[in-house]
């Protein structure tokens, strides 16, 4: 079994996939789209990756504000969740993604990636952090078995 992590943004979706033992998350790719509301190709690509990696569950980052309140992005993410469930037939778990982009940016700084190149990787790394947080939760609660 594998789980896919997704960082849903206005123009990109970062994608990460777990190993079969549900221990680690690895970044896979960033899906880019020309317009925010055009999701057909994005959903089709996610569906291809689900089949390729034999994914059985999706974890979608939920972009709450730092104070825990929900804004427009949360509403758009919940709509995207419904589309993912209809398209893939898989369960989609919403996972708090606060500070994942900050952590991804910090990780890239520490790795010496130049500022102008970070935007090319930040969504995929954020998806990796989202998925790893969920995998750690499963492991700590015993739900991964």
Structure tokens given for 31: 């899906």
Q: What is the pLDDT of residue 31?
A: 95
Sheet hosting strand 55-62, strand order edge to edge: 25-32, 12-18, 2-8, 55-62, 92-96
Structure tokens given for 62: 């939920």
Whether 80 has a pLDDT exceeding 90, the answer reads: yes
Q: Which of 64, 61, 63, 58 is nearest to 85 (CA)?
A: 58
Whether 88 has a pLDDT exceeding 60, the answer reads: yes
What is the pLDDT confidence band of residue 130, given thresholds at 50, 70 and 90? very high
100 contact partners, CB below 8 Å, separation of at least 6: 7, 61, 126, 129, 130, 133
Under DSSP, the state recorded for 98 is T
Whether 6 has a pLDDT exceeding 80, the answer reads: yes
Cβ neighbours, 10 Å, residue 29: 16
| Residue range 41-61: mean pLDDT, rounded | 96
Q: How many helices (H) and strands (E) does the chain have?
A: 5, 5
Q: Which of 38, 48, 41 is nearest to 17 (CA)?
A: 48
Q: What is the pLDDT of residue 82?
A: 96
pLDDT in tens, 20-48: 999 999 999 999 988 777 899 999 999 99
Q: What is the pLDDT of residue 30?
A: 93
Q: What is the pLDDT of residue 67?
A: 65
Whether 65 has a pLDDT exceeding 90, the answer reads: no
Q: Which domains does the chain have, with CATH numbers?
A: 2-141 (3.30.420.140)
């Amino acid at each position: 079994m594998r789980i896919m992590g997704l960082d849903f943004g206005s123009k990109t979706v970062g994608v990460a996939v777990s190993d079969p033992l549900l221990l680690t998350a690895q970044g896979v790719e960033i899906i880019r789209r020309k317009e925010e509301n055009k999701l057909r190709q994005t959903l089709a690509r996610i569906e291809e990756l689900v089949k390729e990696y034999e994914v059985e569950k999706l974890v979608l980052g939920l972009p709450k504000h730092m104070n825990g309140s929900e804004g427009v992005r949360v509403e758009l993410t919940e709509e995207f969740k419904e589309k993912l469930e209809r398209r893939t037939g898989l369960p989609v778990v919403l996972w708090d993604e606060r500070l994942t982009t900050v952590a991804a940016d910090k990780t890239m700084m520490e790795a010496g990636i130049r500022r102008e190149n970070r935007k090319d990787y930040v969504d995929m790394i954020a998806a990796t952090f989202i998925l790893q947080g969920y995998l750690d939760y499963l492991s700590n609660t015993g739900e991964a078995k």
